[in-house]
Each structure stands twice: as C-alpha cells, then as structure tokens.
Amino acid sequence: MSEFPRRALVSVSDKSGLTEFAQGLVSLGFELISTGGTRRTLEEAGIPVQDISSYTGFPEIMDGRVKTLHPKVHGAILCRPDLASDLISIREHGIVPFELVVVNLYPFEETIAKPGVTVAEAIENIDIGGPSMVRSAAKNHAYVGIVSSPSQYERVLSELSEGKLTDAFRRELTAAAFEMTARYDRAISDYMAGLVASESNSAADSEEASPFPARLNLRFEKRSSLRYGENPHQNAAFFVEPNFAPSSLAAAEQLNGKELSYNNLLDLDAALSIVREFSDPAAAVLKHNNPCGCAIGASLAEAFDKAYAGDPVSAFGSIISFNRELDLATAELLCEPGRFVEAIICPGFSDEAFEALTTRPKWKKNVRLLKCPGMTQSGSGMLEYRRVSGGILVQDRDDQPDPQDEWKIVTERQPTEQESIDLRFGWLVCKHVKSNAILYAKAGMAVGVGAGQMSRLDSAEIAAKKAGERSKGGIVASDAFFPFRDGVDEAAKAGITAVIQPGGSVKDEEVIAACNEHGMAMIFTGRRHFKH
C-alpha cells in the first residue's frame, strides 16, 4: 500500500477520546475523511479533515440517512491492493484505499432505554451506514484495521507508531467489530419483536397474551473470572447485561477486600433485594441465600443490632446489607470482637465508618465492602433466568409490591396495631426466604426462620426452635398457604399471636378455626411467594 497515502475513514457516534486519537493519526501521516458531526468536531479542534461528500462527489441526502453508502467508500474499504483486478478497479474510479476505518454506531440501546421514547425515535437511531462500513472493514481486515471502540484507540496508535497493525491485533479488532454489530442487530431484533408481541397481545384475548417474545436473545459481557463456582471443582465467571439497572448488583463498586466469589455474589444479590423492601432503616444478614436475620429500626445501628441478634450463631461469616449509608455507630457494632463478616453492601460508607471497618477488626483487609448508590431504587422490570437441561426458564422478578387493599382478615380477632406492623414486616422478609418458608417476627425483627424444608411443618418447627422465648407475642409469616392446621398449632405453642399467609387451601376453614381456637388473628394476602 506504499503507493497510496495513509487514509483513515472516521465516523463515530461516541466521540470519547476522538480528538486526541485523530491528532495521533495525523501525526503519523494519516489523511482523515469524515462525516457530518464527526467532521465538525475535528474541524473545531483544528484537525485537518476532508468531508466525505468532497471525496465521493455526492452530497449527504435525506437528513444524513445516505452519506457513506457509496462505491468510493466501500471500494476503498474492500479493495485488496495486492490483487491486480482490484487495483485496476480503484485506479479506474479514483478510489484511494483506507488503511483504517474508525466507526461506532448510533446509540440505539441507550435511546430505547430512555423513558417515553417513541417508536419513531427508536427507528431513527437504527444505524445503516455504520454497520455496513464496520462489516466491510472487518471482512477485509487483512488490509484494513477496523476500530470500533474508543477503548482501542491507545493500542492502535501504539502499534501504528511501530509501523503497522499486527495480524493478531487485526483479528482481535475484527472479532470485536463483529461482536458489536451482532449485539447491535440483536438489540434491534429484540426491540422489534417486543413491539410485535405488544401489538399481538393488545389484539389477543388476555388468556393468550404473553409478555415474552417468540425468541429470546441474551447478551451478557464478562465482568470477571471467579476463582471457582459453588464448589472448588466448578469453573465460574460473572457476566453483566448491557445497560444494567443502577439498583442491580452489577452497579456495585467494590471498595475493599478479597475478590468476590460465586457464592458471595449470590448472597449479595439476595441481601440487597431484601433491604430494598423497606423505607425505614433496615439491615439484613444473609447465609446461603437466606436471611438468618433482618430488622428495621429508628437508626441503622439499631436495625443492625436487632438483625444480628436474630441468629448470631448463623451470622458468623455472613453477608450483610443496609439500605442507608453505613455510619460510624453501625460500623462500631460490626467491629465488635467475635464477629466475622464476609461482605457488606450498602448505598455508601461514611469516611469514619470506612476507616473503622478497614483498620480495626481482624478481618479488616479481607472484608469485601461494596457501594451501590442506586440499590434502593425499584428493580422492577428485570427478568430472572434459570438454566435447566436443554433450555432456560424466564420469569418476572418477584419485586412488585403486594396490593394490601386486597388483604383480608379472616379470623374473629383483628390484629393489634403492633401485630399489623409486624405482619407487614414479616411478609416482606418471608418472600425472600427459600420455600417452604416460615418466618417468626416481633417488634420489627426476624426472630426465627425456617427455610427450604420439604414440609411446611418442619419449617415451622425450625423457626420456633430458632426463636425460642422471643416468639411469644410475635407473628408468623408463611410464603404459601398452610395445607393443614398443624403449622398454626405449632405457632400457637411458640406463643405466636398473629398469622399472615396467602390462603387458598382446601383446608382454609380448618386453619381459620384453629386460629380462632387459639385466639390468633390471621390475614389472607391472596398472593403466594414461593422462592426455589
């Protein structure tokens, strides 16, 4: 390519680092050819650049919809200068090959993520010329370097300063370029499929309507490799979805401690989901994806003190979450002798609290501290995926508030004011306990948790054992209906005075009668919260 000047085609939507990169190319002897907005940015920076229209001899038309779809553009990208027939063609038509194509695409995903975006706005952000140039350059990567991300600029300049891009780096750039266009096309496909599904659902009977498309395309990028999975013999990695919600675990920033494990991440996700439920200061203590303690309080320190006291034996080596910035008073409690914490996640840490946690306890260097400022925002709209042999299950996340105006008091006795507060608290925590789930609570604190048992009665017995004398005057929450009265009888033995459960069993009347016999109040919520 020595008989041709060094030329780069530059047309980018994301202009991060553009001027510095362009200046570097010019210093290496490149002539720059560019389009509308990119050209204006370069001109304003005083960087010499030729407009694409002056090169092609054809103006941009249709408000810029057509500008790079031209033989002089794609001929300059696709030509093979060491092939005689290609050389004849480009000389005949006044085409000068591009050594570099620098292109990234209209922000389609960012556009459709905006509240209230119209279909017309989404359609206008479907890039046509950009993907065409990217694919052309990627196909011809033996002769053309395709630069599709600002993150590649520094290394491109470094290799060009040594002479030219290596073959290995060209292939790396090509793989990234095809991944970008594939991801872009998947995003558009998913959006259009969603429109079709929405229109079909509007026209169909409600029984036939489905919120899910006929095909599911998942896009995740690797955030990190993990030391191992649930067990040391299993490989694992953490992948995040594009445009993840600020309330999600993917948005958390690790400030201190050892690298996160697979099990840490599972527990952290469960932990932040629990405290997000509460507007009062709240703390949750997690072990093996279940809360062994959870409480609300007048202050964060009070909430933590109560949550940790729920099951201090199980709390050793736990994951802890808070729905407020962690203050010094709470940090002082965390640092008390005999306590060992694996990880803490909260919206933030005061300077004093951070210093205490990272300098005082024995685990100071190892404790994983994660800041997630948006964690208390609603996580609604997220889907849950679970792999099964040969397929994948998809469902809405169970994060919507229950319609309390539909709750029914079905017993002769009404709940007291304090019981009503504890029933609401217990119901919010119970939905985060693995089924069969039974949770005993009192005074805004979980005092006994029975989780993951094959029998609801077994869960009730475990919760009663954990609670001990603390259950007297407390409430019980059950994630699904009591199939028999035995669970209520067990709760009555433990001193429980009020019950909250979905209802819906063929034995409901028997269960209601049991509550009346024991003088207990009971609420039917009408909604189940299984968690498998």
Which of the following is catalytic: 70, 139, 258, 364?
139
Residue 374: C-alpha distances to residues 278, 345, 346, 347, 473 (Å): 14, 12, 9, 7, 36
CATH (residue range 7-189) = 3.40.50.1380
- CA-based nearest residue to 463, from 292, 274, 306, 289: 292
**What distance in Å separates the CA atoms of residue 38 and residue 35, rounded to the nearest whole number?**
6
Using one digit for the tens of pLDDT, what is the confidence trace for 62-118?
A: 666 665 667 777 778 888 888 788 777 878 887 788 889 999 888 888 888 888 889
pLDDT at 415: 97
First vs last C-alpha separation in the chain: 62
Confidence bin at 526 (pLDDT 50/70/90): very high
Confidence bin at 1 (pLDDT 50/70/90): very low
**What distance in Å separates the CA atoms of residue 460 and residue 469, rounded to the nearest whole number?**
15
CATH fold of 244-371: Cytidine Deaminase; domain 2 (3.40.140)
What are the helix and strand counts (H, E) for the chain?
A: 18, 21
CATH fold of 404-524: Cytidine Deaminase; domain 2 (3.40.140)
Which of the following is catalytic: 15, 288, 364, 507?
288
Most confident of 89-103, 182-196, 220-234: 220-234
- CA-based nearest residue to 438, from 471, 397, 415: 471
Is 233 known to be catalytic? no
CB half-sphere exposure, 239, CA atoms < 13 A: 6
Q: Please, where in the chain does CATH 3.40.140.20 lie? A: 244-371, 404-524
Is 139 known to be catalytic? yes
pLDDT at 68: 64
pLDDT at 379: 64
- CA-based nearest residue to 35, from 59, 11, 60, 19: 11
Lowest mean pLDDT among 58-72, 138-152, 182-196, 395-409: 58-72
Lowest mean pLDDT among 194-203, 299-308, 445-454: 194-203
The more confidently predicted of residues 487 and 199 is 487
Whole-prediction pTM: 0.78
26-49: burial string, b at 16+ Cβ within 10 Å, e else = beeebbbbbbeebbebbeeeebeb
Using one digit for the tens of pLDDT, what is the confidence trace for 409-428?
A: 999 999 999 999 999 999 99
Q: Please, where in the chain does CATH 3.40.50.1380 lie? A: 7-189
